[in-house]
Amino acid sequence: MEVFVVGGSSLSHPTTPISVHNYSSSSTPPLSPSLFPNKNNNNNNRRRRLPSAWTKTKSPKLASKGGAFLSPSRRAAIIELQEASDLASSLSRLEGTIQAQGLNIVLRHFGELRRWKDVIQLFDWMQKHGKVNVASYSSFIKYMGKSLNPMKALEVYNGIQDDSIRRNVSVCNSILGCMIKNGKFESSIKLFDQMKKDGLTPDVVTYSTLLSGCIKVKDGFSKATRLIRELESNGLEMDSVIYGTVLAICASHKLCEEAEMYFQKMKDRGCSPNLFHYSSLLNAYSVDGNQMKADELIEDMKSAGLLPNKVILTTLLKVYVRGGLFEKSRKLLAELQALGHAEDEMPYCLLMDGLAKEGHISEAKAIFDEMKAKGVKSDGYSYSIMISAYCRSELLEEAKQLAKDYEDNYDKYDLVMLNTLLRAYCNTGEMENVMEMLKKMDKLAISPDWNTFHILVKYFCKEKYYQLAYRTVEDMHNKGHPLDEELCSSLILQLAHVGESLKAFSVYNMLRYSKRNLSNSLHERMLKILVSAKHLKEAYVVMKDNAELISGSSLAKFMMSFMKLGNINMINDVVKAFHSSGHRVGAKWVYLPRIGRIRDDGFSVTKQFKVTLMDMGDGHSEKPESRFKPKAGPHNSLTFSPPLSFWKEVFCLAVTRYVSLPEKKELLLHLLQWMSGQGYILDSTSRNLLLKNSRMFGQHLIAEAISKQFAASKNLRIQGTKR
DNA sequence: TTAGGGTTAG
């Protein structure tokens, strides 16, 4: 199919190297510059006491700053390097003039200007010429973290030979921060443990760095608690920065009470909260839309002399929206507009999303239109919210129209936007547009994520492109995304329905691999599919691993089919596996026995009584199936093995197969021997069949095997009656 | 003399 080529190539786009790109690709569009430009107004204990000249200018021309302590020739060298059009030749010309200290100034200059190539080139040169010190390492590693190049940072860190540099606290903090910025929290914790073993003495900055990684990780709060405990046991104290981070951790993990607790603790310790601390706590209140507490907090903030700024008011809007207070929200939005704080789409997005999620979709659209009419520029968020809202409400045409509108007017795509558009086009069955989105993803080197795959598989299933759906699931699995059970179960059924049972089995296996707790019924469904498609070898695998989760009747059908049609070389294995699975679990073989009927059985039944030999005597009046009963519930404790008549039939079929293939004599004798060992004996029909054909197998051997069976059964019977 | 932070949207 034509489609396949495009979709296939798109999705099998080579994965980008570990971690580095994966994080960058999921990043949101660039945000507006800091809303708190005058950071130094925070009266909290700033770590660095920089000369006032350093803090005033944020000019990249650092030569003027560090240059105060440098000789004129070195100052000139720094300026020349900063402005060099050919860095390499300037470096070789100035080699004798400039040392590590001056070069570090140039390195930081390039770093602040995000001239990553120059940073790397300069640092390489510095290393080659032995002009590096601790400061060079920590700055360089920091910038590699900022440029999303943690691999380079690690390469340099691992290459440090001098132990005193390797365990220098700045260098360590730098590499830990670099890894955390790039989403490698777990690895950074491991590295931190190793560093401590190697002699690092962590300081407040180390803990603050590690704590910042807890904001976005699962279970971040308990990880943070551990770090704080360690910090305190090392005699260190939490500072304003650390409180800010911890409050953000509480908010991102929806832990409102914990946030309040830390906020109070901070005040009690004489540390006055700044706007960041207030906004984190406010954000925690937005979790359950606690408007009362939010309003109180704003008052508290005002009386502490802090004016609510744009972010605080926007966060307050979030509290109102989450609390379902839409009228109050509208008023606050008007206030934001009046203050000039509604020039980007964020407050509109908050309100729209809240309205849409409460089902007020046309009111959400009205906000969207108002925003557009006001000429507020969009980074795609508002479109994404509206398109998703339409999709959720099954207003598919509207979703598609808005998607097209976005595409016609914007040329900005990230993964979320692409997924949103993809979903809109998939829902309306716009194949051309779907393919267009996939091409775009390819072109922009944006790797598909779980959502992308999920949208596509669902779409392909709906359109009955089962092969494509299958290939996409395979791709998804190979890229390490967990599979969705519901979607895969339906694909399994559909594949089976179009005669692709082996592909269905493959999906089943991928699903089993990626998901621990599958619903019990899936195994049975898979077994049924494979049995009816006569893929008995595969069915055997399903049976062997999941016998306890499959109903007796399905197992029985499988066994009968295998005995009749399965690979003759595997018959004994299947019988044994079935026997031992009954032994092992038997949980689904619920049988309400009439004890008088059953004498000995070979399986453990309950703790109260145990029977040891089954009587294969003829004359069972019940049909095999009638004695398989579904599990009645946890209190119906008589879990049981298959009834005797079932085994009778199994052995009869097995013997019939062997009789038809005398060259499998060894296997037949092996089965008979095994049966004796387990206390199973043949019924009269099978016995007669065997005796009739015993010539082919060697009369002597058959007679011997049958008499052994009798002997075994007698012994066991005697034991049974003694008990 | 180099290392840390926290607030709002899909």
Is the CB of A283 less than 7 A from some atom of nucleic acid strand B?
A: yes
SS (H, E, C) A406-436: HHHHCCCCCHHHHHHHHHHHHHCCCHHHHHH
Nucleotide closest in space to A248 (CA vs C1'): B6
Residue A582: predicted pLDDT: 63
pLDDT single digits (tens) A170-212: 999 999 999 999 999 999 999 999 999 999 999 999 999 999 9
| Better-scored residue on pLDDT, A48 or A529 | A529
- Protein-contacted bases of chain B (C-beta within 7 A): 1-10
Q: Which residue is nearest to nucleotide B3 (CA to C1')?
A: A170
Contacts of A259 (CB under 8 A, 6+ apart): A247, A250, A251, A280, A281, A284
Asked if pLDDT for residue A718 goes beyond 90, the answer is: no
Q: State the burial class of residue A220 (Cβ atoms within 10 Å of its Cβ: 0-12, 13-18, 19+).
A: buried
pLDDT single digits (tens) A532-573: 999 999 999 999 999 889 988 899 999 999 999 999 999 999
Structure-token pair, residue A306: 């802090």
Give the pLDDT band (50/70/90) at residue A428: very high
What gap in Å lies between CA A399 and CA A356, rounded to an integer?
Answer: 13
List of A residues 235-254 with CB within 7 A of strand B: 239-242, 244-245, 248, 251-252
Asked if pLDDT for residue A612 goes beyond 90, the answer is: no
Give the pLDDT band (50/70/90) at residue A463: very high
Structure-token pair, residue A576: 């044994």
Q: State the burial class of residue A282 (Cβ atoms within 10 Å of its Cβ: 0-12, 13-18, 19+).
A: buried
**How far: A517 CA to B5 C1' (Å)?**
40
Structure-token pair, residue A238: 């939490």
- Determine what percent of chain A falls in helix, strand and coil, rounding each to the nearest 5: 70, 0, 30
Cα A112 versus chain centre, distance: 35
- Please compute the mean of the pLDDT values over residues A240-251 and round it to a whole number: 95
Is the CB of A149 less than 7 A from some atom of nucleic acid strand B?
A: no
**How far: A77 CA to B1 C1' (Å)?**
20
Grouping H, G, I as helix, E, B as strand and the rest as coil, residue A524 is: helix
- Please compute the mean of the pLDDT values over residues A467-479 and round it to a whole number: 96
Structure-token pair, residue A20: 């580095």
Whether the CB-CB separation of A537 and A567 falls below 8 Å is answered with yes
Residue A42: predicted pLDDT: 35
Give the pLDDT band (50/70/90) at residue A29: very low
Phi, psi (5° rounding) for residue A610?
A: -130, 130
Q: Which residue is nearest to nucleotide B7 (CA to C1')?
A: A279
pLDDT single digits (tens) A36-45: 223 333 333 3
Asked if pLDDT for residue A115 goes beyond 60, the answer is: yes
Structure-token pair, residue A289: 């839309």
CA neighbor of A570 nearest in space, from A654, A647, A640: A654
Nucleotide closest in space to A350 (CA vs C1'): B9
Residue A69: predicted pLDDT: 64
| Better-scored residue on pLDDT, A57 or A677 | A677
Asked if pLDDT for residue A311 goes beyond 50, the answer is: yes
Contacts of A218 (CB under 8 A, 6+ apart): none
Asked if pLDDT for residue A613 goes beyond 50, the answer is: no
Buried b (16+ CB within 10 A) or exposed e, A452-477: bbbbbbbbbbeeebbebbbbbbbbbb
**How far: A553 CA to B5 C1' (Å)?**
63
What gap in Å lies between CA A684 and CA A183, rounded to an integer?
Answer: 71
Is the CB of A449 less than 7 A from some atom of nucleic acid strand B?
A: no
Is the CB of A380 less than 7 A from some atom of nucleic acid strand B?
A: yes
What gap in Å lies between CA A330 and CA A355, rounded to an integer?
Answer: 11
Nucleotide closest in space to A69 (CA vs C1'): B1
Is the CB of A101 less than 7 A from some atom of nucleic acid strand B?
A: yes
Residue A702: predicted pLDDT: 84
List of A residues 471-510 with CB within 7 A of strand B: none
**How far: A273 CA to B6 C1' (Å)?**
11
pLDDT single digits (tens) A664-686: 999 999 999 999 888 888 888 99
- Please compute the mean of the pLDDT values over residues A274-302 and round it to a whole number: 95
Is the CB of A354 less than 7 A from some atom of nucleic acid strand B?
A: no
β partners of residue A590: A629, A639
Torsion angle, alpha carbons of A337, A342, A346, A348, to 10:
40
What gap in Å lies between CA A419 and CA A403, rounded to an integer?
Answer: 11
- Please compute the mean of the pLDDT values over residues A287-308 and round it to a whole number: 94
Is the CB of A42 less than 7 A from some atom of nucleic acid strand B?
A: yes
CA neighbor of A590 nearest in space, from A639, A646, A625: A639
Alpha helix (H) ranges present in A129-255? 134-146, 150-158, 163-166, 169-181, 185-197, 204-212, 220-233, 240-252
List of A residues 288-327 with CB within 7 A of strand B: 310-312, 314-315, 318
**How far: A192 CA to B3 C1' (Å)?**
14
Contacts of A117 (CB under 8 A, 6+ apart): none
Buried b (16+ CB within 10 A) or exposed e, A71-92: eeebbbbbbbbbebeebeebbe
Q: State the burial class of residue A260 (Cβ atoms within 10 Å of its Cβ: 0-12, 13-18, 19+).
A: middle
Angle between helices A116-128 and A134-146 (to 10 degrees): 150
Is the CB of A36 less than 7 A from some atom of nucleic acid strand B?
A: yes
Contacts of A692 (CB under 8 A, 6+ apart): none
Whether the CB-CB separation of A590 and A639 falls below 8 Å is answered with yes
Q: Which residue is nearest to nucleotide B9 (CA to C1')?
A: A346
What gap in Å lies between CA A685 and CA A691, rounded to an integer?
Answer: 10
Asked if pLDDT for residue A78 goes beyond 50, the answer is: yes
Residue A255: predicted pLDDT: 95
| Better-scored residue on pLDDT, A75 or A626 | A75
Nucleotide closest in space to A389 (CA vs C1'): B10
Residue A517: predicted pLDDT: 85
Nucleotide closest in space to A286 (CA vs C1'): B8
The Cα-based distances of A681 to A653, A656, A705, A720 in angstroms read: 14, 15, 10, 16
Phi, psi (5° rounding) for residue A377?
A: -80, 145
- Please compute the mean of the pLDDT values over residues A233-237 and round it to a whole number: 94
Is the CB of A208 less than 7 A from some atom of nucleic acid strand B?
A: yes
CA neighbor of A206 nearest in space, from A186, A230, A222, A184: A230
Nucleotide closest in space to A176 (CA vs C1'): B3
Is the CB of A28 less than 7 A from some atom of nucleic acid strand B?
A: yes
Please name the residue that has the structure tokens 């006491």: A49
What gap in Å lies between CA A470 and CA A252, rounded to an integer?
Answer: 37
What element of type H or E holds A277? helix A275-286
**How far: A360 CA to B5 C1' (Å)?**
38
- Please compute the mean of the pLDDT values over residues A337-364 and round it to a whole number: 95
**How far: A54 CA to B8 C1' (Å)?**
31
pLDDT single digits (tens) A476-509: 999 999 999 999 999 999 999 999 999 999 999 9
What gap in Å lies between CA A514 and CA A483, rounded to an integer?
Answer: 6
Residue A425: predicted pLDDT: 95
- HSE, CB side, 13 Å, CA atoms: give it for residue A21: 12
Is the CB of A360 less than 7 A from some atom of nucleic acid strand B?
A: no
**How far: A540 CA to B2 C1' (Å)?**
64
Is the CB of A431 less than 7 A from some atom of nucleic acid strand B?
A: no
Q: Which residue is nearest to nucleotide B5 (CA to C1')?
A: A241
Q: Which residue is nearest to nucleotide B1 (CA to C1')?
A: A135
Please name the residue that has the structure tokens 């066991």: A716
What gap in Å lies between CA A487 and CA A451, rounded to an integer?
Answer: 13
Residue A635: predicted pLDDT: 32
Whether the CB-CB separation of A98 and A77 falls below 8 Å is answered with yes
**How far: A475 CA to B8 C1' (Å)?**
36
Whether the CB-CB separation of A441 and A418 falls below 8 Å is answered with yes
- Please compute the mean of the pLDDT values over residues A130-145 and round it to a whole number: 96
Asked if pLDDT for residue A623 goes beyond 60, the answer is: no
Nucleotide closest in space to A141 (CA vs C1'): B3
List of A residues 103-142 with CB within 7 A of strand B: 104, 108, 133-135, 138-139, 142
Is the CB of A35 less than 7 A from some atom of nucleic acid strand B?
A: yes
CA neighbor of A620 nearest in space, from A601, A648, A580, A640: A648
The rounded mean pLDDT for chain A is 82
Residue A646: predicted pLDDT: 84
